[in-house]
Amino acid sequence: MSVQFLKSAGLSVMTSQTDTPSKKKRRIPWYVYFLGSSIYTALGGWLAAESSLLAIICIISAPIGFFYAWEAWKKEKRGKG
């Protein structure tokens, strides 16, 4: 039966608690971003000695990880995470 049919017949629709979506979203903690960007920084520095293209990618990616860590830390500090 569709909900529209039940409403037109004057019947109420009851849902269980399991039908409601969870409002709490799981977020990645800030220290995971920080750890990942630290690894990218170390790997980039190590590969820079060999002048590898991967070193350039790691060095460019590391600040992005630090930025995400900073943003996640701010949200956690405000109590949104």
pTM for the model: 0.56
Largest CA distance in the chain: 75
Residue 31 above 70 pLDDT?
A: yes
> Which residues form the domain of 59?
27-81
Of 12-21, 56-65, 67-76, the range with the lowest mean pLDDT is 12-21
Answer for the pair 66, 37: CB distance below 8 angstroms, yes or no: yes
In a domain, 67, yes or no: yes
Give the rounded percent of residues in the chain with a pLDDT score beyond 90.
1
Q: To 10 degrees, the CA torsion angle through 18, 24, 30, 31? A: -30
The encoded tokens of residue 64 equal 């992005």
The pLDDT value given to residue 19? 55
In a domain, 35, yes or no: yes
In a domain, 4, yes or no: no
The pLDDT value given to residue 10? 63
Average pLDDT over residues 17-28: 64
Give the C-alpha distances (Å, rounded to integers) separating 19 from 12, 15, 76: 16, 6, 28
The pLDDT value given to residue 20? 56
In a domain, 63, yes or no: yes
Provide Rg for the chain, Cα atoms.
24
Give the chain's domain count: 1
With bands split at pLDDT 50, 70 and 90, how would you rate the model's confidence at 53? confident
In a domain, 21, yes or no: no
